[in-house]
A and B are shown apart, each in its own frame.
Chain A
Amino acid sequence: MTEYSRMAKGKFTSTGAAQVVNLPFKPDYIEMINYTAAAAMTDDVVPFAWWDANMGQGFAVIERSTGAALISDVVISNGFSTFSAGQLLQFGATQQVVASTKGTTTSFQVTGHGYAVGDVVLFEGLFQSSTTGMPQMNGIPFTVITVTDANNFIVNWNSNNSSYTNLSASPASAKVKKILYPYLYFPGETVISGITTGTTTTIDTASAHNFVVGQEVAFRIPSQWGTVELNTLPNVLTPGAPVYGYVIAVTDFNTFVVNIDSSAYTAFTTAIAVTSVPGLSFPQVVAVGDVNTGGVQISSGSALYPPPYFSPISTTRVNTINGPAIQGAFVNNTSQGFIIGAGSSVGDADAILVGAASDVIYWRAYLHDMSIP
């Protein structure tokens, strides 16, 4: 080893799904031992695997068991891959939107989309013609809330009104792409998808808000969307003084309640005419202020120094690589490392790289001083 090389090792218990391993570097060589699989040596398990950066992303060389012997094989999709989540505005492949179905949530048909629940996607060009379609949704980051099947998924947007028309027959302009790293800094600015007025106000968002109880929030709602009374300014009582709300309950990743009595406020609407789309700004909620609920709580069974987390879907919590912090404070969630994917071997579709749930996996990762090529 020379002075600039990097080595790391570790272990984890597999969930059967792709495993992200954060490191202070992006490795160019990875090796993996599935101890549980090596001990059992039952048919289809993958006790050993290797990857070199020159193989390409998503590949692996493996040894898999036939139940009687180990044989060599390869993974050519969803194998090992590296990542560097350091900058925003990185996107996955642009895909064609085939069709859409409007409703209180909106469904999209995209052939072989490959998205998972919790992914964040961005639509563009949702025009059926120059005056019809769903272009009101262009440019808004949406969380995929349901994956219906390999070719269809659903996002949280009420398109159930006459301003929207279904897309069909793969309109040339209609595209979608995944936002690769949507939560590098959070809580951030989030687009509002619905507002329920009342003595308290319930806010639905198009993607994860990552707010916590006690958070102070501000609203930016252009007049087309209705509930302009929530706007931070102008303040009708004290001119020039911002009006903020406080989060009093977090229902899930895209719903929270603020302490604002909106009983007499204008109803929120997503019924925006297609002709109004050029220059249309979105209704937004942003985290503000220094009021929050203090450090991340320690509870029975929790880590001693629990890190801040983001919540991409439902009430799932994903820890960041940071140390303990103040809840509600902005978190830098940049990271790099590698992923052990859930891809299967070419010769046996049941032989999965990342193993089965409860498998104990040991890994080593390297970054070499010199690689030829």
Chain B
Amino acid sequence: MSERLAVAMRQAEDLILRDYIVSAASQINAGGGSNGFNPTNLGMSDFSLVATTLDTNNAYKFMSGIEGMDRFGTGPVRSAYFMLSSTELQSDFDSLVGSGFLNQWNYPTNASALPSEYGSAFNIRVLTSSEAPVARNAAVNSSGTFNDVYYNTVLGKQAITHINQDGYSMNLIYRDPYYSGMLAQNATLAVKFAQAQAITQDTAIRNLLSTRLSNLGV
């Protein structure tokens, strides 16, 4: 129970920051894909465009590159911004392998790869999460076919922060039954936090909106 609540605690933190970014950051609709929706599915040119935008805005990249090594199936990785995407887009990323998308397994070394990192495209390294923002059935094409719209947040190092208020971030609270009730029947397990989110540099963040190319298979 306490393990699940600890996960929920951090997910709550993520969801608040996620919704704040969806509300407040500028958007670019993907146009490099071929599915005919607006926005389109992600194409390689979308990665290039959004990285160019952030470069022009003098955003700081999160990661330095990974030099190529003499290992089969690997390739060098550019210095990169992070893009926070949905796990539902992973099959779309796979379809871009061969066009320039490099799966994390094909990095020369995985030493700097994050557990949620799916791969990289040009100057963007892609992290995926099931909690990424998605607007269900928010795009319809001229044939009347629905598609989900994904908010892929691309950000530089100086783009966002969160501020811990009153001197603390999040507390996971446990009070054993003796302290939680007169009859010592129930323990108390709770989370509390006091924090605020802020975009510290609006030029260093973009929501790259996209639809999906492939079926989810569910």
Contacts and interface: CB of A to CB of B under 8 A. Distances in A.
Contacts of B30: 279
A101 B104 CA distance: 51
Interface string A274-289: 0001111110101110
B38 A135 contact: yes
Contacts of A125: 140-142, 144
Contact of A139 (B149, B202, B203): B149
B38 A279 contact: yes
A240 B58 contact: yes
Interface in A193-247: 218, 220, 232-234, 240, 242
B19 A87 contact: yes
A280 B139 CA distance: 13
A5 interface: no
A332 B194 CA distance: 12
B8 to A, nearest CB: 13
Contacts of A184: 19, 23
Given A173-B141, A173-B142, A173-B143, A281 B19 contact: no
Main secondary structure of the interface of B (DSSP, over half): mixed
Main secondary structure of the interface of A (DSSP, over half): loop
Contact of B27 (A133, A175, A242, A284): A284
A172 B144 contact: yes
A279 B140 CA distance: 13
A175 B147 CA distance: 13
Given A3-B186, A284-B27, A185 B20 contact: yes
A172 B141 CA distance: 10
Contacts of B32: 279
A39 interface: no
Interface string B52-67: 0000111000000000
Interface string A5-30: 00000000000000000000000000
A109 B190 CA distance: 49
A149 to B, nearest CB: 26
A127 B38 CA distance: 12
A122 B138 contact: yes
A186 interface: yes
A232 B203 contact: yes
Interface in B25-39: 25-33, 36-39
A276 to B, nearest CB: 9
Given A124-B138, A124-B139, A278 B56 contact: no
10 contacts: A87-B19, A139-B38, A139-B149, A184-B19, A188-B23, A218-B203, A279-B29, A282-B27, A286-B202, A330-B198
Interface of A: 3, 87-89, 91, 94, 122, 124-125, 127, 129-130, 133, 135, 138-139, 171-175, 184-189, 218, 220, 232-234, 240, 242, 277-282, 284, 286-288, 330, 332
Interface of B: 15-16, 19-20, 22-33, 36-40, 56-58, 133-146, 149, 180-181, 186, 196-199, 202-203, 209
